[in-house]
Amino acid sequence: MTNPVTISARGVVKAFGQGPGAVRALDDVSLDIRKGEFFTLLGPSGCGKTTLLRLIAGFEMPSGGTILLDGADITDLPPNKRPVNTVFQSYALFPHLTVAENVAFGLQMLGKPAGEVRATTERMLALVKLEALASRKTAQLSGGQQQRVALARALAPQPKVLLLDEPLSALDLKLRKEMQVELKRLQHETGITFVFVTHDQEEALTMSDRIAVMNAGKIQQVGTAKEVYTQPKNRFVASFIGETNFLTGTARAGALELPTGDTIPVEGLKPVDGGKPVTVTVRPEQVRIGKPGVEGAKAKVAALVYFGTDTHCHLHLRDGTEVVVRLQSPASGDSGLAEGDEVSLGFAPGAAQVVED
């Protein structure tokens, strides 16, 4: 059963400036975020994802449209009247306070009884595994520890929604991956709706229940990680989510005919009226390499790039079009291919998807 909707945006517009020179950071955005899900706003810089987060938080007011929380219109409410909290990229901790005092601060501002503040603070520190550092000043903590304090402080008042504005971007790669696991654990244990903003596709794919891919102030696609990766709706989504190959040709019954005259079987592909060219996308790990003469397109190995677990094989079709294939590296590290080898190229069943430009 689908969870009820917690956050709804309806026709939201946000323009900066006046007149012909106004910039629309958000252009008629509508979406639903369900209760208790880890929802990610993903897109490149300037796509409008942080602006949308700030509208939900109440730090910005929309130029048009409405924002609902549990069915109630909160469009014009100030931030302190909304049952949401935000974790910023900079963490915004109080350096003169201890870890415990930072976590307790918001509860004290809400006028909670001292006993409740103490019990909640202890519970939050246990949740983020910082009980042993309760009396330490935040300036004495690592970046990952500071982030945990910021999370504990934001979770302490038990908001209906927790907004996270690229909170992992300042961390090194190893710690960022560790915190991805921790964030998902916290969301699962608390059951609070998380709305996460990032430009990092890997973060979005590994952490999210659903993802909204954004570009130029519009939502391009909303779906699970698997849906946006394997069934992208357009060229932007396909290219932004991970690596992919694009091939343009004529759709035949169950096959794509390339400009070179070669034909690649494509499961389920149907002819297009008028013979208008179509563009298909296929992920590098779904491209198949065979011996010359096997059904598929003729290609030549242009380069082999070893990545440890994978080897990327760069192929050139007869017209120079490049196709990248990701091969799992064998224990010996030898892919069995060499630059200049002639091969045939095909796709795994169901891997190729027709996309709109």
pLDDT tens per residue, range 117-154: 999 999 999 988 899 999 999 888 888 888 889 899 99
Sequence-distant contacts of 318-321: CB under 8 A, at least 24 apart: 318/260, 318/262, 319/258, 319/259, 319/260, 321/247, 321/258
Domains observed in the chain: 5-239 (3.40.50.300), 245-355 (2.40.50.140)
- Distance from C-alpha of 190 to C-alpha of 199, rounded to nearest angstrom: 25
Which of 26-40, 158-172, 322-336 ranks highest by mean pLDDT?
26-40
Residue 1, pLDDT score: 62
Query: Does residue 291 contact residue 332 with C-beta atoms inside 8 Å?
Result: no
Q: Residue for token digits 């149907």?
A: 270
What pLDDT score does 245 carry?
97
Question: Is a pLDDT exceeding 90 seen at residue 271?
Answer: no
- Could you report the per-residue pLDDT of 39-73, keeping only the tens digit for each? 999 999 999 999 999 999 999 999 999 999 999 99
Q: Give every strand in the sheet of 353-355, ordered side by side.
A: 263-265, 255-257, 245-252, 278-282, 353-355
- Which residue has better confidence, 91 or 50? 50
Mean pLDDT, range 280-285, rounded to an integer: 96
pLDDT, position 18: 84
- Single pTM value for the model: 0.89
Report CA-CA distances (Å) from 78 to 83, 138, 209: 11, 29, 29
Placement of tokens 């070669």 in the chain: 262
The rounded percent of the chain whose pLDDT value lies above 90 is 71
One-letter amino acid at 352 equals A
Please tell me the predicted confidence (pLDDT) of residue 333: 64
- 272-277 — which CB contacts under 8 Å span 24+ positions? 275/250, 277/248, 277/249, 277/250
Res 33 pLDDT > 70 = yes
Q: What is the reported pLDDT for 261?
A: 92
Q: Which of 145-149, 220-224, 314-318, 324-328 has the lowest mean pLDDT?
A: 145-149
The mean-pLDDT minimum among 29-38, 161-170, 231-240 falls in: 161-170
What's the pLDDT at 354? 92
One-letter amino acid at 8 equals S
